[in-house]
Amino acid sequence: MRYFAQFRAGLAELVLDSLRRDLTKVTVVSSDDSSLLFDTGSSPSKVGQLGYLKNAFSVLGTVPRSSLQRAAEQFADQILSTAVLRGLGRMSAFRTMVSVDGKLVGLPRPVKDRFESAIARATGARVSPRGGGAEFWLIGRRDLKSMLLCQRLTAGVKAGAAGSLGADLATLLVKASAPRADDVFLDPFAGSGSIVRARIALPFARAIYSDLDVGEPNLQVPPEIRRDKRVKVLAEDALVLPSVPTGSVSSIVTDPPWGEYDELDTDFATFAERMLAGFDRVLDPRRGRVVLLLSRRAAAVTAGLWPGANLRLTRSHDLLVNGHPASAQIGGRPERAG
């Protein structure tokens, strides 16, 4: 079945990496910086549950690219004369939305009425402009030769707190670490906790949330992290982590300081070398995995440092974090990292 997904600009590589893990037989039909048209054998409900997509849709029909008005009229005809809306299950209400290159736009009233009355006739549902029922979207995209008639599957991702990673990116980083139910997880630069929250939303054994600023007024440990008895909260220097035993951690996913804005009292290369030496100590010598989010410039420095910490860097994805060029580096112990 064909699907269309929208995500935050700059996350395309990481999103595709996660889709390939989460869904079966993913084939990309077309993609750009913030959207993907793809086929998969997985069900709409499975695609709709992927929390890192801003919007996910099943594609019900296509018409050749033309004006919005013309496309809406063609879809109205298609809905009345073919089975495009059959088999969608029972629905009592719906609304329609029109999106062009990621922006919502309006249709002239008579065209919208015709489009909506075709859907109402085919589904037996009534129009509910405020939502609460099904959503049918007409989607146009600069890079697509067709316009799409879609049903929306997701409720959308929640934005993260100011200065924190969004929940979508945190989830993508966690997924890139190939999480396991028996993981002992560590984020040693946990900040507002977005990565730890994304990690504990999936099965895990134990987790460590550590940040030098724990206990300072500027850092509030999220209540769900404080409440969870399996999560240890520490205020330790990530370069030392004195209370984390050697070899006790199976997975680290973290967003360290990027060495910008005078964050560090040493040069970034020295900091990164000490950080990776600390990770080498606490990580399980056989199955330890690491995912690092860094600025593109910092990533160029750390790339050469993994082998010295007995780690292999297996994949690196370029992305944008709030418009800032960044990289996600993914790897682990050499025998695990393949």
Ligand X SMILES: C[S@@+](CC[C@H](N)C(=O)[O-])C[C@H]1O[C@@H](n2cnc3c(N)ncnc32)[C@H](O)[C@@H]1O
Residues at the interface with ligand X (CB under 6 A):
164-165, 188-189, 191-192, 194-195, 211-213, 237-239, 255, 257
C-alpha–C-alpha distance, residues 338 and 303, integer Å = 17
Q: Supply the minimum distance, in Å, between the C-beta of residue 271 and ligand X.
A: 8
Contact status, residue 250 vs residue 287, Cβ threshold 8 Å:
yes
C-alpha–C-alpha distance, residues 258 and 328, integer Å = 12
Cβ-proximal residues to 218 (8 Å cutoff; 6+ apart), any chain: none
Strand partners for 310: none
Contact status, residue 227 vs residue 256, Cβ threshold 8 Å:
no
C-alpha–C-alpha distance, residues 53 and 135, integer Å = 16
C-alpha–C-alpha distance, residues 23 and 35, integer Å = 17
C-alpha–C-alpha distance, residues 210 and 264, integer Å = 17
Q: How many CA atoms lie within 13 A of 201 on its CB side?
A: 17
Q: Supply the minimum distance, in Å, between the C-beta of residue 121 and ligand X.
A: 48
C-alpha–C-alpha distance, residues 118 and 74, integer Å = 11
Q: Supply the minimum distance, in Å, between the C-beta of residue 210 and ligand X.
A: 6
Q: Supply the minimum distance, in Å, between the C-beta of residue 14 and ligand X.
A: 15
Rg (CA), the chain: 23
Q: Which two tokens stand for residue 71?
A: 């496309």
C-alpha–C-alpha distance, residues 186 and 180, integer Å = 13
Contact status, residue 64 vs residue 145, Cβ threshold 8 Å:
yes
Q: Supply the minimum distance, in Å, between the C-beta of residue 25 and ligand X.
A: 33
Phi, psi of 197 (to 5 degrees): -60, -45
Q: Supply the minimum distance, in Å, between the C-beta of residue 164 and ligand X.
A: 4
Position closest to ligand X via CB: 191
Q: Supply the minimum distance, in Å, between the C-beta of residue 243 and ligand X.
A: 13
C-alpha–C-alpha distance, residues 119 and 85, integer Å = 8
Query: Measured from the CB atom, is 45 or 218 closer to ligand X?
Result: 218
SS3 307: helix
Other residues' Cβ atoms within 10 Å of the Cβ of residue 74: 18
